[in-house]
Every structure is written in C-alpha cells, then in structure tokens.
Amino acid sequence: MQKKVFYHVLGFIMVAFGIVGIVTSKLGASPIDAFNYFLYTLTPLSLGTVAVLLGLSVSLLCYILERKRDMIYSVIFLFMIGVLIDSWKFLFELMPLEFYESFYVRIPLAIFSLLIVSFGVAITMTTGLPSLPFERLLAIMNKKINSVKWTKIIIEGTFFIFAVILGTITKQLFEQVHVFTVVLVIFTGPLISMFIDIIDRKKVKGEIIYAA
C-alpha cells in the first residue's frame, strides 16, 4: 500500500507540474484548466485554491450521482493537487517574466508539460487508488452514456464554453484558449493510454511493483 500511495502522489506532483507549465506557456490550456485560470484572474484566490473549489463542486455532484463514501479520498487528493499547483506556480514565477516571452521557451515548455501531465495521469490511473473528481465524473457519466469519447466531449465542451465566456470577460481569452488547446484535446487521451500500456508492461515484467 505504501508504494501505491508513493506512486499516486508522484503522479499528482507530475500532473500539477504539467498544469502549471501549460498555463505558464500561454499557448492554450485544456478547457478545464483555462476555466480555472480565468476564474483565478477574476478573484483574489490562488490558482490552486480555484482548482480545489471547482473540484469540490464536481465531488459533490459525483456523490449525488453515485453515493459512494470513498469520495472522501478523492477530496483529500484534490487538496493535495491544489497545494502542488500553487507550489509549482511559485517556483515558475521565480524566473523573470521575460524568460517566458520567447517561443523557444514556451513551445518546448508546453510540449514537455503535456508529456509530464499525461504520464502523471497514467500513473494515478494504474495504482488502483481513488481517482480525482473529474476522472470519477467521467466514469460515472460514461456508465449512462456508454461512450468515453462522447462523455469527454460533453465535459470538455461544457468547460470550453465557460472558459470562452470568462476569457472574453477578462480580455485574456487567447492566453489560455489557443492552438495548444486543440493539441491537448487531441493528444492527451492517446498519450495517457500509451503511458498506461507502458506502465502495465513494466508491472508485468516486475520493473514496477505495487505492494498491497
């Protein structure tokens, strides 16, 4: 169990890094992260706090739909993600703002962050421990819709609309809804699946062992 928790937390550390890296690159974030960012710019709250509050709202919805008590573990992990996002954001901001103005920095940062966040999600999905609220919502809705593809489209499409509205209000729309938003929508799923296959193969070979 200790190894499971270790890898689960490691996955969250990577996910938080990837989220902050993509947001910092300002080439386009995922619909949910773009929504969080615009909400963050409209409030005195930190980016991590906004992510936690949105996650709590999703957790409540998941509990209403499924009534499973282990949702409490998802909430605990959610608070961890919030702290990690703010920690990575603090570290990123130690660099001068001019450093992130060059496309020679922003493009590699965005691509690297995409790989890191995809690998982090893959790790958390293979530990067998409770997933984050949005992953649980995806699983719950998929039971009713019976299509992961359409379930993701509904969730991401909804938050894309919200993000565009908030981005228009803040006049920062193209900082977080841009070309890389499309890249994330297209490639995140396949990358996560690829990394899950790699992790599963390594587990079979004994290179990664989760001890119960």
pLDDT in tens, 132-161: 888 888 888 888 888 777 888 888 889 999
Q: Length of the chain in residues, anyone?
A: 212
- With 80 as the cut, is the pLDDT of residue 179 above it? yes
Output the pLDDT for position 163: 95
pLDDT in tens, 2-56: 788 899 999 999 999 999 999 999 999 999 999 999 999 999 999 999 999 999 9
- With 60 as the cut, is the pLDDT of residue 208 above it? no
Full DSSP string of 87-146: HHHHHHTTS-GGGGSSHHHHHHHHHHHHHHHHHHHHHHHHS-SPPPHHHHHHHHHHHHH-
Output the pLDDT for position 135: 81
Provide the whole-model pTM: 0.88
